[in-house]
């Protein structure tokens, strides 16, 4: 069992090294994604309410909007966007 765990861990490290140094896969820049998000009309409508704007700002610090992959999903995919809008309206 330990051998299997160590084998999987070694494989994950090799893949990570290959992506980072050989393929030069870069992490998305969260600041750039936030600028792109703020250009979206639906996001501007959400920010119109002061309570929601405060919630969105706190979400940027330590919530859903802190994850660059999630921000990319809500920009690109309508289903994720609708779920995020519903979440903000419920929580704010």
Q: Which of 46, 28, 27 is nearest to 38 (CA)?
A: 46
End-to-end Cα separation, the chain, in angstroms: 46
Q: How many domains does the chain have?
A: 1
Write out the residue range of the structural domain in which residue 59 sits: 2-91
d(C-alpha 35, C-alpha 2), whole Å: 45
Query: Which residues are within 8 A (CB) of 75 and not within 5 positions of it... i.e. 6 or more apart?
Result: 33, 36, 37, 40, 81
Query: Per residue in 13-65, pLDDT tens?
Result: 999 888 888 888 777 889 999 999 999 999 999 999 999 999 999 999 999 99
Query: Per residue in 26-39, pLDDT tens?
Result: 778 899 999 999 99
């Amino acid at each position: 069992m330990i051998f299997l765990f160590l084998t999987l861990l070694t494989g994950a490290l090799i893949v990570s090294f290959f992506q980072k140094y050989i393929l030069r896969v870069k992490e998305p820049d969260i600041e750039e994604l936030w600028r792109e998000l703020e250009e979206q009309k639906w996001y501007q409508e959400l920010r119109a309410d002061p309570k929601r704007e405060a919630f969105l700002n706190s979400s940027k610090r330590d919530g859903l909007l802190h994850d660059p992959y999630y921000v990319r999903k809500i920009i690109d995919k309508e289903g994720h966007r609708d779920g995020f809008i519903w979440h903000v309206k419920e929580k704010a």
